[in-house]
Structure 1
Amino acid sequence: MSTQTTQATDPRTATTIPGFRGELIAPGDPAYDTARAVWNGGVDRHPRLIARCRGSADVVAAVRFARERGLEITIRGGGHSVAGLAVCDDGMVIDLSTMRAVWVDPVDRRARVQGGALWTDVDRETQVHELATTGGIVGHTGVAGLTLGGGLGFLARKHGLTIDNLLAAEVVTADGAIVRAAADENPDLFWALRGGGGNFGVVTTFEFALHPVGPSVMAGPIFWPAAETTDVLHFYRDFVAEAPDELGTVVRLGTAPPLPAIPEQLRWRPAVAVFSCYVGPLDEAEQVLSPLRRFGTPLIDLLSPTPYADFQCALDEISYRHGWHYYWKATDLTDLTDDTIAVVADHAYAAGSPRSYAAMFHLGGAIARVPADATAYVGRHVPHNIIVDAAWLPEEATQHATTEPAWARDFLRALEPHRAGSVYVNFLDVDDGSRVREAYGDAIYRRLAEVKTSYDPDNTFHRNRNIEPA
């Protein structure tokens, strides 16, 4: 029995990719504008060709085709990069967005995940077995981008970063080869993939360790009036310093979003919130979280037993909606000193758009127990980091497109004396290219450059937080 390899052809450009069975989308195609759109609606780029892949063989064919023709290459997983790294002008987008399968082995507690999957896909399949792995705080974030940059999420203090749970990866390299990276196979590449971003190839499959989680966790936000921000942050600093690893928290400073459970009169009101997720027993959660719930005069307390998968995507369409315009600035913090808290309280509510906010992640726990050189992630011993997220509606561009980014930059400048000298690479925006070395530090950057030289000496994959070959 013989088989015949088909070729995909785009009649408008007479483009044929040998061996490609996916979908080719070019300018003029009815699907083109939808296919080139990414999460950040402020990104408006026009690729020459979008190669929507069905599997690894399509990725190999697309990489080889683009290299032969000297086309710029970008890789689209979830398309969630604030800088719009998934799409380019006049090049090729290798689009994995239809490669979203998740296979779960509940006995060995492992999951195999295709490179175009979103975290909602992973949580949906793993929670059937009451299992999970660290997966960010937004359901429609892509697995690939979050993982390759490190992977912060509510489970990180208990179970480590996403990269700490990565067991293996299948990678299409710049020469069109398929290689496996794991602790015992191409270990240099495996090290680099865990934090080094999309510099080394196209990851078509990830394999993760899973942990018992849920199905219900004690989770949700507590909101206080903005006027109580300084007091809340002082209390929070001491509270989380003694918190068990089972408790993951994120502080959000902005306005109360229009969650269904928030009364109309509180929506869009300036407020500070602590979002918590406790992954231990529910009776323990009540005891651990009781001091936080009793503090101050909360506007509303939404902590309750909640399905983990639901909590992970609770804000997807409320605060992180596709198509809004976004601009980020971020830094790791030395600690939440009184002076740091004063800067945060002074700047957090100065944004013009009610959709803008700042968020602080509490780190430590299992993150800090991994040796600093075990992966290409720098901020192992940072206690907190902060992201300043300017956000506005597309129709508000005239009003906010200049003022909101200026607010974010001013906020970051004010934090300068309190910065730890590092930054989470996944939080870098389009104008942060010069901060790549800050994200890695000199020693890790040099090691990443050596791996880059081995696997991508021509810097084929450079539309990213680029590590240049040594």
Structure 2
Amino acid sequence: MTTSVLRPDLDDLRTRVTGTVTGRDDPGYDGARAVWNGMVDRRPWAVVRAAGVGDVAPVIAYAREHGLALAVRGGGHNVAGNGAVDDGLVLDLADLHAVSVDPAAPTVRVEAGATLAHVDAATEPHGLVVPGGVVSTTGVAGLTLGGGVGWLTRPHGLAADNLVSVELVTADGRQLTADANEHPDLFWAVHGGGGNFGVVTAFTFRAYPHGPRVFAGNLVYRQDRWRQAWTALEEWTRDLPDAMTPITTTMTPPPVAEMGDEPLLLVGFAWAAPDRATGEALVGRLRELAPPDEEEVGDMRWVEWQQAFDPVFPKGVRAYWRNTSFDRLDDPVIEVLVRRGAEQTWTGTAFDVHLMGGAFGRVPEGATPFPNRAARFWLNIYGFWGDPADDADRVAFVRGLSADMEPFATGGQYVNFQGHEPAGHRGSDPRTVFGPGKYERLVEVKRRYDPGNLFHVNHNIPPG
């Protein structure tokens, strides 16, 4: 990156954009710089809240001219805090959140500042859905650029698997549309390669008939039933149809959940087919294998199910996450999951086991940068506490469980489940995250579209 001798000037920047520019001495600076993860306390030189796509290229040019590090923020929900940067420039796209639905196609165009809640609100009246995540306040841009794992991964694949096209601005200020025919190398790279290649300003997704109601819920197990539940899940998940997506959570629920103050195992599920009787029979089979202590199961609006975990992750929560894929739920793995789960006698850490496979697993390995399509399970270990005094203990728990699961790991890292890692940890090395073949291909795309590595405030893929 070429560093200019010109001194950055806020007034100069304000003349170039129509959005709001907030500097360190301006009212509202602390609010403008804040991101979802309360552990991230970075002080940018300025934050530009874009008023439209026309503000993107001038901000990119300004950062290049003045040698300023550039952070790009969509929904701002990234656990690693990549939507902020010390002494640099933040491009905040939160006001670009329009969603337009074409029911005939059916496709959905989503601007880069939109959240899953924006998308669900727009698609529900049409009886459609776009595969996303599990928390409605998540930004669509970061979720999709990292892959996008959620309640519809098994029936329809990742959010990124459903991309039709993306609109983006490159490091040299060009506005491009990338799809399977135009700039196919760039289109491939944004299917999990993150924000390394430009500022995506809009996504167009395939949509699917769905809802507006869904058969979903949680089977709840107290500690004396955990081993039985995990053993049952090993059998039950072997031949599930694609329409059934289970996510198994171990946590001490926060007070807002009103579920007590002891660690619980919750087998959450969403059934994505209209044949409810088949979904009910599948859940009944799990009940037979492992009778739950409690359950909350039924027919509910899809948008309500998508919002069920929102209270666990309010903006400002302190967060540190790690993840890994694995393929077995035998006694050694269950021993780790049960032992570590029982240690969580506090509210502030949890771990999810996502069943993969289905449509996700049928995508050819080289079709996207997302790693390890053969994975049977994906583990996300996450902290979500409020008191800085708890930082050391909560981070230690996440790292400890991650280390315990290392012998069972089957390769790859999901960047959206990865917090900021110190140099030397395998999660900080993109070769380990993506695998050597995909990494080299991503580097080639990076050299073509961002040879100066302007877009490096992310899980970075250097151009050389």
TM-score (norm 2): 0.94
What letter is aligned with 2:442? Answer: L
Match of 2:270 in 1: 277
What letter is aligned with 2:310? Answer: D
Shift of 1:259: 5.5
Do residues 360 (structure 1) and 357 (structure 2) align? no
Do residues 310 (structure 1) and 304 (structure 2) align? yes
Q: Is the 8 A contact 1:99 1:115 kept in 2?
A: yes
| Cα separation, 1, equivalents of 2:195 and 2:346 | 32
Do residues 447 (structure 1) and 441 (structure 2) align? yes
Q: Is the 8 A contact 1:197 1:464 kept in 2?
A: yes
Q: Is the 8 A contact 1:216 1:308 kept in 2?
A: yes
Q: Is the 8 A contact 1:17 1:65 kept in 2?
A: no
Q: What secondary structure sits across from 2:332 in the alignment?
A: helix
Q: Is the 8 A contact 2:123 2:129 kept in 1?
A: yes
Q: Is the 8 A contact 1:459 1:469 kept in 2?
A: yes
Q: What secondary structure sits across from 1:416 in the alignment?
A: helix
| Cα separation, 1, equivalents of 2:342 and 2:459 | 30
Match of 2:5 in 1: none
Q: Is the 8 A contact 1:169 1:181 kept in 2?
A: yes
Shift of 1:338: 2.1
Q: What secondary structure sits across from 2:90 in the alignment?
A: strand
Shift of 1:35: 1.3
What letter is aligned with 2:413? Answer: V
Q: What secondary structure sits across from 1:204 in the alignment?
A: strand
Do residues 136 (structure 1) and 155 (structure 2) align? no
**Superposition RMSD in Å:** 1.6
Q: What secondary structure sits across from 2:343 in the alignment?
A: coil
Compared with structure 1, are the counterparts of its residues 434 and 355 closer, same or farther at alpha carbon in structure 2 (3 Å cutoff)? closer
Match of 1:419 in 2: 409
Q: What secondary structure sits across from 1:462 in the alignment?
A: coil
| Cα separation, 1, equivalents of 2:372 and 2:108 | 26
Match of 2:3 in 1: none
Q: Is the 8 A contact 2:262 2:345 kept in 1?
A: no
Matches within 5 A, 1:193-232: 193-232=190-229
1:389-417 Cα offsets, whole Å, 9 max, x none, are 12211xx222x111111111111111111
| Cα separation, 1, equivalents of 2:27 and 2:131 | 37
| Cα separation, 1, equivalents of 2:410 and 2:419 | 19
Match of 1:345 in 2: 338
| Cα separation, 2, equivalents of 1:236 and 1:258 | 27
What letter is aligned with 1:341? Answer: I
1:116 to 107, 113, 118: 113
Shift of 1:16: 2.7
Matches within 5 A, 1:284-295: 284-295=278-289
2:388 to 392, 397, 413: 397
What letter is aligned with 1:210? Answer: A
What letter is aligned with 1:313? Answer: Q
Match of 2:11 in 1: 14
1:163-209 Cα offsets, whole Å, 9 max, x none, are 11000000110011111100010000000010100000000000000
| Cα separation, 2, equivalents of 1:67 and 1:349 | 50
Q: Is the 8 A contact 2:234 2:329 kept in 1?
A: yes
What letter is aligned with 1:465? Answer: H
What letter is aligned with 2:414? Answer: Y
What letter is aligned with 2:150? Answer: G
Give 4+ residue runs of structure 1 displaced > 4 Å after superposition: 257-260
Which blocks of at least 5 consecutive residues in structure 2 are unaligned? 1-8
Compared with structure 1, are the counterparts of its residues 373 and 111 closer, same or farther at alpha carbon in structure 2 (3 Å cutoff)? same
Do residues 72 (structure 1) and 65 (structure 2) align? no
Q: Is the 8 A contact 1:368 1:380 kept in 2?
A: yes
Q: Is the 8 A contact 2:263 2:345 kept in 1?
A: no
| Cα separation, 2, equivalents of 1:460 and 1:337 | 45
Q: Is the 8 A contact 1:198 1:461 kept in 2?
A: yes
Shift of 1:256: 3.4
What letter is aligned with 2:186? Answer: L
| Cα separation, 2, equivalents of 1:302 and 1:15 | 57
Q: Is the 8 A contact 1:130 1:212 kept in 2?
A: yes
Q: What secondary structure sits across from 1:392 in the alignment?
A: coil
Match of 2:144 in 1: 147
1:336 to 326, 329, 339: 329
Compared with structure 1, are the counterparts of its residues 289 and 257 closer, same or farther at alpha carbon in structure 2 (3 Å cutoff)? farther
| Cα separation, 2, equivalents of 1:58 and 1:336 | 50
| Cα separation, 1, equivalents of 2:151 and 2:85 | 32
Match of 2:181 in 1: 184
| Cα separation, 2, equivalents of 1:240 and 1:257 | 28
Do residues 324 (structure 1) and 283 (structure 2) align? no
| Cα separation, 2, equivalents of 1:22 and 1:316 | 29
Percent of residue pairs identical: 38
Q: What secondary structure sits across from 1:251 in the alignment?
A: strand
| Cα separation, 1, equivalents of 2:52 and 2:41 | 27
2:56 to 48, 55, 59: 59
Q: What secondary structure sits across from 2:149 in the alignment?
A: coil
Shift of 1:353: 3.2
What letter is aligned with 1:155? Answer: L
Shift of 1:443: 0.1
1:260-302 Cα offsets, whole Å, 9 max, x none, are 6xxx4x3232110011000112222212211223444423211
Shift of 1:238: 1.1
Shift of 1:314: 1.1
What letter is aligned with 1:221? Answer: N
Do residues 166 (structure 1) and 163 (structure 2) align? yes
| Cα separation, 2, equivalents of 1:38 and 1:294 | 44
Match of 1:6 in 2: none
| Cα separation, 2, equivalents of 1:401 and 1:15 | 40
Do residues 245 (structure 1) and 242 (structure 2) align? yes
Match of 1:8 in 2: none
| Cα separation, 2, equivalents of 1:124 and 1:293 | 33
Q: Is the 8 A contact 2:10 2:21 kept in 1?
A: no
1:105 to 102, 105, 109: 102
Q: Is the 8 A contact 2:327 2:375 kept in 1?
A: yes
